[in-house]
Structure 1
């Protein structure tokens, strides 16, 4: 059963993400010799929030998929499965079990993630495994379709956004049992939360051609990154 986060916790995380007004302009930021390499598993655009235009477009894409490609397709079961895939794949990566990713992730992704994983610090590696209870927000960012009528090929790729708060229960306890200056304690907790937010961007690919032999989804791109690391480099 998929984990459901409370609305208040989701709003809190959103406020922490919005703490930096520069967060949305981080897509083209690169590390320098004076700054440590940020957590990055693949060189993909860092997507934080849903896009209104894509959300509208996704509605029509879903109608096409369910009407012409796969009548059983529904976004809710897919999103639930994507959350589970995130937890399984992230734990395999975090445990350095790259051989076990075969069949779940494309070989191109495995090769790039494995190479980048070797350059991460031990602290960064500890943030990669994700528990489903730590996912506070998930959203289908973009549903893309690639069709070639000449060879009757229909590929569907769905990009998912996940906001993750590591060890989120501890923050509630810190606020509830804080002593002394409540404002200072709240500020310290917010800073700690900001340093433990992980954004995950995953791409899921499926061949929906009429003669497709496999109806499963495979991960064609993935990235875990820390907004706090890129904020520090501004």
Structure 2
């Protein structure tokens, strides 16, 4: 599985220096940390068009973020610190692309209840919690966990944290946010804050309902000398499906 993940990411980034998911990293107790920085907003627009009402005019799904100058500057400082003191080849754009591929792969495994396949990719203590939560979800909600590559509308880095524990071990965590569409049949009030779009399919004007969902995946890596440069997923949230 580790070798498969390496192949999965090799085409999108310089794997060893940016994003590699291959082994579990557990932090020690009593760890200290620097203040976390929230990611700056990003302005972007999806290329495809959707209509939110049957027979309505098509509209682009647009994600707009107005960055707070202080937060934006602080985030840039954290990226500089990572490059200066932890990994000189770190690149947030390549990391973001690698994290997106990891999100696609892990979300599919979750939707199929392949929890053993998550070992080495997701922290061990988190796998058990995910298995307990998934056991309570209906089939439609399980299907909604899987993010199709063509249905990911936007992804952006969020919080960045630098940690030190009592033994001097060093950690970096980066929270990634994803927005994706799903055609899973969910109850109208099952996912708070989501939006339903009517998507036109084919030339005959047939429509299909899709719901816009969000997911948060946190990646952590230990930068202590002598430790393998591996990123591990330590937090997974899917809208109101997995909190």
- TM class by smaller structure: 0.5 to 0.7
| Residue number in structure 1 paired with 2:77 | 60
Looking at structure 2, the residues matched to 214 and 50 of structure 1 have their Cα atoms a distance apart, in angstroms, of: 37
- 1:97 match: secondary structure: coil
Q: CA deviation at 1:51?
A: 6.4
Q: Does 1:152 align with 2:168?
A: yes
Among 142, 153, 156, the residue aligned to 1:136 = 153
Looking at structure 2, the residues matched to 153 and 135 of structure 1 have their Cα atoms a distance apart, in angstroms, of: 35
Q: Note the aligned Cα RMSD (angstroms).
A: 3.2
Looking at structure 2, the residues matched to 160 and 94 of structure 1 have their Cα atoms a distance apart, in angstroms, of: 19
| Residue number in structure 2 paired with 1:219 | 233
Residues 92-132 of structure 1: CA deviation (Å, up to 9, x unaligned)? 11111101100100011101111000111111111111122
Q: CA deviation at 1:217?
A: 0.5
Looking at structure 2, the residues matched to 166 and 132 of structure 1 have their Cα atoms a distance apart, in angstroms, of: 11
Residues 29-76 of structure 1: CA deviation (Å, up to 9, x unaligned)? xxxxxxxxxxxxxxxxxxxx7863543321110000001110011101
- 2:175 match: secondary structure: strand
- The TM-score normalised by the length of structure 1 is 0.66
Q: Is the 8 A contact 1:9 1:136 kept in 2?
A: no
- The TM-score normalised by the length of structure 2 is 0.64
Q: Is the 8 A contact 1:87 1:131 kept in 2?
A: yes
Q: Which has the higher helix share?
A: 1
Q: CA deviation at 1:6?
A: 6.2
Looking at structure 1, the residues matched to 94 and 201 of structure 2 have their Cα atoms a distance apart, in angstroms, of: 33
Q: Is the 8 A contact 2:46 2:62 kept in 1?
A: no
Query: How many residues in Structure 1 have an aligned counterpart in Structure 2?
Result: 178
Looking at structure 1, the residues matched to 174 and 80 of structure 2 have their Cα atoms a distance apart, in angstroms, of: 14
Q: Is the 8 A contact 2:107 2:147 kept in 1?
A: yes
Structure 2: state its 5+ residue gaps.
1-10, 13-43, 50-58, 184-195
Q: Which has the higher strand share?
A: 2
| Residue number in structure 1 paired with 2:88 | 71
